[in-house]
Structure 1
């Protein structure tokens, strides 16, 4: 009996997918497209605003429409994946995302672009949880699972920075419309790969959609994200902002109350009863608040203050992208099987916080190599150490029928954190800059100095939030090393049903 035949027999006995690594490529491609799209339009926004004659007050909807739909519908997308099947939902999400991207690229007015961005968010809410739950069920061996999640989380963490690079190149050398058109060939390739390489069991027909839960949960998330988005132009004391935030909190409280009583809850309470999973979700949300805020400020700082071109601005983020990939694939993926997750999470958040603290010393004349680059590398390494154990720990030990909704919860924490970070920190930056300028009237160079001062104050708040994330991980995530919780040679099996 040959070794190869023995390996095949063992794989068959364990139910291992022989195409799982190629399947990972397809899933990673789709995930990259979704995460990349959150930032790829940032650098293109000034060009799109001029072309479609958007007002300064309305231009935010190019970003907000996407994050509102994505963050607000992720839980529903996860439950749909459990109901109709992960592969089917994955393919529908890919096709719809490509169609919405083509519609946005061909936009003839601002309303058409806003609608297309919202539609992208809707299909991304189907696509993202399906991708993560497919990955969760494809890789059951703890050692392979660590490697797979390392690659996946590297793309999830670096996709935003890659979006800035690609957006700069497409905007400068083609047109802003290609920041949307580029998704069409990527999605087409991923659909072909999904039909060829991905396999999934049929959906759980006994799963029912929790309609009141959908309305309460999604309504609460949309209200909070929309409230934070409106806080930038209106101010935190605006009655509409306060009403939206209050309504969002009340809806989420009602959602929690209903989930404990619903016969088929949208978010089963047993998922959040895990201390480790709850700690990972909070860690993810706090971490992304600081990270998204940095993208916003550094993009404007490099282009407006230092005069960088779109391409040069995108390339300036490349070292951080490399650091995220290194932290995820070469450090976290190698260490997680041997150490408890918080031994990676806490140092990761401390590294990220130190990188942000260095950026609080920014001035109008700061140099990239001497002051900005070291900070970006520290932040990237810290986020790389964090993303992989968060994804792996939050989705470990979940029943197959809950894989989709658990994955959606992880992605929701990421999207909500990004939305909060963009709105909250931008409001802090704007307020601080206005105060600085008002107290120094008629002085040369006051305006750019005030803008940079606002960035520095907001980045200091981002660093504080990173420290809260480190504290959260240290106190709540108490899981042992995976190889101690599950023997290295023992796969985590799905129940048949």
Structure 2
């Protein structure tokens, strides 16, 4: 058995000569699949919402909470579980999370009400938060050679983007062949298989010196992040300047301020905040936040476009979004290699600029835009930009974290993704909702009761997805011309909001690109660069430490 200063393994380290590669690669596959499982649940349930609404008579707000409950608990607990993995064992925490995801998914397959589904989704988010940071922390400890580690992180980041983009496709296929309960059933055998594979193939890893558990730090971080994410998610419903939203921001600010004070004073903090003074940690983290702000916002908007404007079925929507997933999967490993050759800063800035171009093109989409054209080009550029940013940025973050804090570092890396994504959906979704409200509500108010009852009108006010119901009513209706006119107005309103949201995103990404270009070093130090490129021999391990 090999013992290192920072974690224990069983002869799994990848040497510079490439020996002992097979078992670490198998472990990497397990970690990437575990990551895919929890990220797939971020999006797979979205396509099942109409079926759930019909079967369980759920309101629009309750359907929103089916999605939001998962994101809220997931984002709020990432940092805490990253620390717990460092302390008690990262594989142990991941396995517990996988078991929990499987159990909660099984419960979701049998529930009989919207409230129960919301509770199940919240529970799934808790256990998913135990899995996600552990996968990255275990990966970082598994590969000691810098080039092998960078390649492994590239695979991990590629899987993150692919999993999120594949959600609509997988969900659409399931709904095409089974009921909405299948989006829960699919997790059960996958989670069980991954538990067995993790115990057999993934070595345990933990920090050698953990000290007393920082319970207060965990509580403050959980409370602050949860309050912030909750306020962001609910802002479109409550109003950005409403008393409820401002109170949420105030609670979040107070908790996070106390968290900072606590962590600067604690002898064994849940997060070493002094890492934020390291530009190679903080600015890549900012880049990931903005990239996921763009990506989640884009996926939210493109969902409205495909299902509301183009009126695609769930499966058609999933299939048409595949170019985005393929772009992420292909570009992520290439981006890490480019970062090793040309430097992290150059690649991250390039990725941000590609994101900005992709989002600008997306903002030019009209009702009559062909799929093979503006729509496809924007998706490919968004996927390429995301992959080019997140791979090198994640590698930079984890390289800046001490080995005994990789779990907490992974928690920070993952939290930036989720908070950025929540901001993207909330901010961009609010822009679209505000534009839609301004243009459509006056039209809906004038619709005669013979054309739409009060319930239908309220649904039309809330979302453009009501186009599906209107389209069904149009068949054989004497009011078909009037209904068609309303549908056209609704589509125009959605796209007008889409255009404004795209310009806001472009502005945010360009500002981030300028900040990163100015603040992040453009060159690696010579020793690190030569090591990554293989221009210097890696120091040989003492004979006493070899298997």
**C-alpha contact (below 8 Å) 2:359/2:506 kept by paired residues:** yes
Alpha-carbon distance between aligned partners in 2 of 1:13 and 1:334, rounded to the nearest angstrom: 18
**C-alpha contact (below 8 Å) 1:95/1:188 kept by paired residues:** yes
Deviation at 1:481, TM superposition (A): 4.2
Task: Please list, as runs of the form range in 1=range in 2, the aligned pairs for 1:212-291 lying within 5 A after superposition.
Answer: 212-291=216-295
**C-alpha contact (below 8 Å) 2:324/2:383 kept by paired residues:** yes
Deviation at 1:345, TM superposition (A): 0.6
CA pair 460-21 structure 1, distance change in 2 beyond 3 A: same
**Residue 490 of structure 1 aligns with which residue?**
538
CA pair 468-176 structure 1, distance change in 2 beyond 3 A: farther
**Residue 471 of structure 2 aligns with which residue?**
none
Deviation at 1:161, TM superposition (A): 0.5
Alpha-carbon distance between aligned partners in 2 of 1:110 and 1:440, rounded to the nearest angstrom: 31
Alpha-carbon distance between aligned partners in 2 of 1:9 and 1:222, rounded to the nearest angstrom: 37
**C-alpha contact (below 8 Å) 2:32/2:159 kept by paired residues:** yes
**C-alpha contact (below 8 Å) 2:284/2:393 kept by paired residues:** yes
**Residue 338 of structure 2 aligns with which residue?**
335
**Residue 94 of structure 1 aligns with which residue?**
98
Deviation at 1:182, TM superposition (A): 1.1
More divergent stretch after superposition (479-488 vs 268-277): 479-488
CA pair 482-157 structure 1, distance change in 2 beyond 3 A: farther
Deviation at 1:446, TM superposition (A): 2.4
**Residue 407 of structure 1 aligns with which residue?**
410
CA pair 374-201 structure 1, distance change in 2 beyond 3 A: closer
CA deviation map 1:437-458 (0-9, x unaligned): 4688989432321122112211
**C-alpha contact (below 8 Å) 1:133/1:404 kept by paired residues:** yes
**C-alpha contact (below 8 Å) 2:297/2:428 kept by paired residues:** yes
Task: Please list, as runs of the form range in 1=range in 2, the aligned pairs for 1:109-128 lying within 5 A after superposition.
Answer: 109-128=113-132
**C-alpha contact (below 8 Å) 1:339/1:481 kept by paired residues:** no
CA pair 484-174 structure 1, distance change in 2 beyond 3 A: farther
**Residue 174 of structure 2 aligns with which residue?**
170
The yes-or-no answer on 1:386 pairing with 2:389 is yes
The yes-or-no answer on 1:463 pairing with 2:506 is yes
**C-alpha contact (below 8 Å) 1:157/1:387 kept by paired residues:** no
**Residue 453 of structure 2 aligns with which residue?**
none
Paired residue secondary structure (1:336): helix
CA pair 309-327 structure 1, distance change in 2 beyond 3 A: same
**Residue 104 of structure 1 aligns with which residue?**
108
**C-alpha contact (below 8 Å) 1:220/1:249 kept by paired residues:** yes
CA deviation map 1:349-384 (0-9, x unaligned): 111111110111222222211220011011111111
**C-alpha contact (below 8 Å) 2:161/2:387 kept by paired residues:** yes
More divergent stretch after superposition (44-53 vs 158-167): 44-53
More divergent stretch after superposition (158-167 vs 455-464): 455-464
**Residue 356 of structure 1 aligns with which residue?**
359
Alpha-carbon distance between aligned partners in 1 of 2:373 and 2:328, rounded to the nearest angstrom: 20
CA pair 454-204 structure 1, distance change in 2 beyond 3 A: same
Deviation at 1:257, TM superposition (A): 1.6
**Residue 4 of structure 1 aligns with which residue?**
none
Alpha-carbon distance between aligned partners in 1 of 2:26 and 2:511, rounded to the nearest angstrom: 38
Deviation at 1:400, TM superposition (A): 2.2
Deviation at 1:338, TM superposition (A): 1.3
CA pair 353-227 structure 1, distance change in 2 beyond 3 A: same
Deviation at 1:50, TM superposition (A): 1.9
Task: Please list, as runs of the form range in 1=range in 2, the aligned pairs for 1:146-157 lying within 5 A after superposition.
Answer: 146-157=150-161
**C-alpha contact (below 8 Å) 1:91/1:191 kept by paired residues:** yes
**C-alpha contact (below 8 Å) 1:276/1:477 kept by paired residues:** yes
Deviation at 1:290, TM superposition (A): 1.1
CA deviation map 1:155-211 (0-9, x unaligned): 112211011111111122212211121111221221111111111245546333212
More divergent stretch after superposition (421-430 vs 476-485): 476-485
More divergent stretch after superposition (194-203 vs 109-118): 194-203
Deviation at 1:405, TM superposition (A): 0.3
**C-alpha contact (below 8 Å) 2:281/2:400 kept by paired residues:** no
**Residue 479 of structure 2 aligns with which residue?**
none
**C-alpha contact (below 8 Å) 2:165/2:322 kept by paired residues:** yes
Mind listing any 5+ residue stretches in structure 2 that lack a counterpart? 1-10, 447-481
**Residue 136 of structure 2 aligns with which residue?**
132
**Residue 344 of structure 1 aligns with which residue?**
347
**Residue 378 of structure 2 aligns with which residue?**
375
CA pair 204-107 structure 1, distance change in 2 beyond 3 A: farther
Paired residue secondary structure (2:111): coil
Q: How many residues align?
A: 487
With structure 1 as the length reference, what TM-score do the two structures score?
0.92
CA pair 492-361 structure 1, distance change in 2 beyond 3 A: farther
Deviation at 1:484, TM superposition (A): 4.5
**Residue 211 of structure 1 aligns with which residue?**
215
**C-alpha contact (below 8 Å) 2:212/2:268 kept by paired residues:** yes
CA deviation map 1:325-358 (0-9, x unaligned): 11112x2132122121011111111111111101
Alpha-carbon distance between aligned partners in 1 of 2:123 and 2:539, rounded to the nearest angstrom: 38
Q: Return the index of the structure with the highest Cα Rg.
A: 2
More divergent stretch after superposition (50-59 vs 109-118): 50-59
Task: Please list, as runs of the form range in 1=range in 2, the aligned pairs for 1:429-468 lying within 5 A after superposition.
Answer: 429-437=432-440, 444=485, 445-468=488-511
Paired residue secondary structure (2:61): coil
Alpha-carbon distance between aligned partners in 2 of 1:388 and 1:9, rounded to the nearest angstrom: 22
